[in-house]
Amino acid sequence: MSLPIKDILDHLHINDINHAFSTGSQWGSSANAVTKDIVSPTDGKKIAAVKFATADEYNTVVETAAKAFKTWRTIPAPKRGEIVRQICESLRANKKQLGTLVSYEMGKSLQEGYGEVQEMIDICDFAVGLSRQLYGLTMHSERPEHRMYEQYHPLGIIGVISAFNFPVAVWSWNAALAWVCGDVCIWKPSEKTPLTAIACQHIAQEVFKRNNIEEGVSCLVIGDRNIGELMSNDTRVPLVSATGSTRMGKAVSAAVGARLGKSLLELGGNNAIIITENADLDMSLIGAVFGAVGTAGQRCTSTRRLIIHESVYEAFKQKLVKAYAQIKIGDPLNENNHMGPLIDQDAVALYLDSIEKCKAEGGKFVVEGGKLDGGPYSSGCYVKPCIAEVENHYQIVQHETFAPILYLIKYATIEEAIDLQNGVPQGLSSAIMTNNLREAETFLSYAGSDCGIANVNIGTSGAEIGGAFGGEKETGGGRESGSDAWKVYMRRQTNTINYSKTLPLAQGIKFDL
């Protein structure tokens, strides 16, 4: 561990008991609020406690944010970008501390904790440039002396519901873009990882305060799904960006849809790598193992299935078995370890249950799984990564288990491999390992992968912020982060201006008085 946790908590303003909500400089909670201890899955020790916000407190936050929006939207976009630039600087200055807290609270490796903060820095940099590029198109009118163009206006309050596995990056993907677009944000982090969210809110609010920006542009509400449900049903929140399980996404989508609001859904994945007979097997091994055991299999883009050509199947299986024997499991803050714990003991129970279900359906384990106990594993959250030979149609294979279970599936033709890859309800990330141009291009064609992300000679896990991130089918269809994802955070308006002395109607319609 590079820095003592106590010093990090002090540095990031995490107290023994943290408030339930913040509208910026102001933090609060009611006297009888539910208090929840936040325990690290790495060592089972309590880090700090948080209070859960009540419905009244949520309402106060929304009212403050709605008021702030009226001022924030008047600040020119490049000036809003300048504030995001300062937040970026502050994240750079706090990268070590925040990255370590991400690792300690969530359980991902220290390198991945730092990587997550780096992603926040990258998206802030992107948003600063974007603040001068919120372009609309101009069109030629069919009528003389008329001008047509489109422009983008801010939407208002953006509700951000985030998952435990990327406790801070997902917020920044949304907030940095939303702020430069002129929106204000209310963040409901996962109830499993609220401390990193509190640290981020302190970092952001300090910058807003220094720039004399009123309360409400950056808001935080701590709570469980009840707060998420309030947000989803709230007509004052025009866009709800929700990251989490498909189960959650269906509930959010139904509630937001019922009021004809907008939702941006980033849900579960069931990602596969196709390893062809033309693959570089050593390179494929790194992609597959990192994809399956990185973050203990708790990434939405984690590799869950390997679809391997029959001619290299046995050889690749042996390589995997050998590689798995070398994986070091333990404290994620110790950089010698490859894999840390699962988020909590409930996740361990789901992992064990999935192994049993897989066996019951006929799955054959070539690397056995199981829970690790005692000594460095006394938090009860550590498990062994495992590998099973399966059929793609098994119910358990069709389901996203958020744990390091890797399924091996054999194929004969590239068309069959693509059918298997696409033959699950989810559609987030996909990859092919091949040095054959025809195979690669077929995989990327309209007849290829049906996922939002399709890679060649790169695994499924992780993505750069420059591209639009998201997936199809049960992954929810949302896109956030780079490319033109910013458009979701704005409303598009088409303007037609007549500078002639007559009023011609479109389509040549005559209406004379």
Residues involved in catalysis: 266
Contact 370, 383 (CB under 8 A): yes
Considering the rule CB under 6 A, would residue 291 count as an interface residue with ligand NAD? no
Question: Which single residue is written with the structure tokens 């808001």?
Answer: 219
Least distance (Å) between residue 232 CB and ligand NAD: 5
Cα separation, 301 vs 292, in Å, equals: 9
Our CB check for ligand NAD shows the closer of 390 and 403 to be 403
# chain residues binding ligand NAD, by CB under 6 A: 29
Query: Scanning residues 213 to 242, which ones bind ligand NAD (CB under 6 A)?
Result: 224-225, 228-229, 232
**In sequence order, what are the residues at sequence separation of 6 or more whose Cβ sits closer than 8 angstroms to the Cβ of residue 47?**
5, 9, 14, 38, 39, 40, 104, 105, 195
Region binding ligand NAD by CB under 6 A among candidate stretches 60-68, 125-133, 261-269, 312-320: 261-269
Whether 461 contacts 275, CB under 8 Å:
no
* Least distance CB 172 / ligand NAD (angstroms): 13
Least distance (Å) between residue 163 CB and ligand NAD? 3
State the minimum distance, in angstroms, from the CB of residue 381 to ligand NAD.
Answer: 14
Question: Residue 314: exposed, middle, or buried by beta-carbon count in 10 A (0-12, 13-18, 19+)?
Answer: exposed
Nearer to ligand NAD, 169 or 213 (CB): 169
Q: Is 112 a residue that touches ligand NAD (CB under 6 A)?
A: no
Of residues 159, 269, 330, 385, which one binds ligand NAD by CB under 6 A?
269
Residue 134 or 267: the one with the smaller Cβ distance to ligand NAD is: 267
Q: Which residues partner with 238 through β-bridges?
A: none
Could you say whether residue 244 binds ligand NAD (CB under 6 A)?
A: yes
Ordered strands of the 303-309 beta sheet = 364-367, 386-389, 405-411, 303-309, 271-275, 429-433, 453-456
For residue 293 the two structure tokens come to 């055991």
Burial class (CB in 10 A: 0-12, 13-18, 19+), 499: exposed
Q: Does 429 bind ligand NAD (CB under 6 A)?
A: no
Kindly state the DSSP code that residue 487 receives in the 8-state scheme.
Answer: G
For 155-209, list the strands marked E by DSSP. 157-161, 184-188
Choose the binding region for ligand NAD from 209-217, 248-256, 309-317, 324-332 (rule: CB under 6 A).
Answer: 248-256
- Rule CB under 6 A: choose which of 176, 237, 248, 488 binds ligand NAD: 248
If binding is defined by CB under 6 A, does position 245 make contact with ligand NAD?
yes
**Nearest approach, Cβ of 243 to ligand NAD (angstroms)?**
5
Of 225 and 236, nearer to ligand NAD (C-beta) is 225
Residues 340, 30: Cα–Cα separation, whole Å = 36
> Please, are residues 221 and 127 in contact by the beta-carbon 8 Å criterion?
no
- Cβ–Cβ under 8 Å, residues 50 and 197: no
Taking the complex as a whole, the smallest distance from the CB of residue 78 to ligand NAD amounts, in Å, to 29
> Does the footprint of ligand NAD cover residue 152 (CB under 6 A)?
no
Q: 159 to 218, contacts with ligand NAD by CB under 6 A?
A: 161-166, 188, 190-191
Please give the residues from 394 up to 423 whose contact with ligand NAD meets the rule CB under 6 A. Answer: 400, 402
